[in-house]
Amino acid sequence: MKQRIFMYLFIFSLLLILFQYVNAKNVFEDDIRTIEKSNAKVETLTDSIAVLHDKIFELSHFNIDQNEDAITYFENKGLDVEALVPFIKDEIYSNNVRGGNPLIPYAANEGKTMLINSIKILNHKWLIADFSDGIFWGELLVKYEVINQNEVTFNVIDSLLYPLR
């Protein structure tokens, strides 16, 4: 009788160990599959980040923040570039509050005002501005000249007004 009990306990222990082994093996294989999927996703996202970095570098080519020659030009004139860029933008935006920006050579729709919405300073001489009255919109290419830290002049080189669709 004692031998049968030990034999049943031995068989039960063997089955329990076998069950735990199979279960642990399945869990381990599932973890490996999860890790492989995560690694593939990380690789895809890393490639996407590299593409986005390249695109950012390409888009920042015509930007005063990335243009060392333009920055050097202002520094050689003794101007503070960090304060100058916001000052130039503020000077253009300040014209918006006077009932229409005088840099915009187009008349606005009835009851509306043409205002400059956004500005991108390309280098130490040119900037691009986007304007709209809510219905019509367009862009300006502006030449600017910095007289001193507190004075800047603007001259519109060219402009365009997009047609309504």
For the stretch 124-165, pLDDT in tens is 999 999 999 888 899 999 999 998 878 899 999 999 999 887
**Alpha carbon of residue 116 to chain centroid:** 21
For the chain, what is the mean pLDDT?
A: 89
Q: How confident is the model at residue 5 (pLDDT cuts 50, 70, 90)?
A: confident
0.85 cut: is pTM over it? Answer: no
For the stretch 34-53, pLDDT in tens is 999 999 999 999 999 999 99
State residue 112's pLDDT score: 82
User: Angle 112-131-154 (CA atoms, 0-180°, nearest 5)?
Assistant: 115
**Mean pLDDT along residues 15-26:** 92
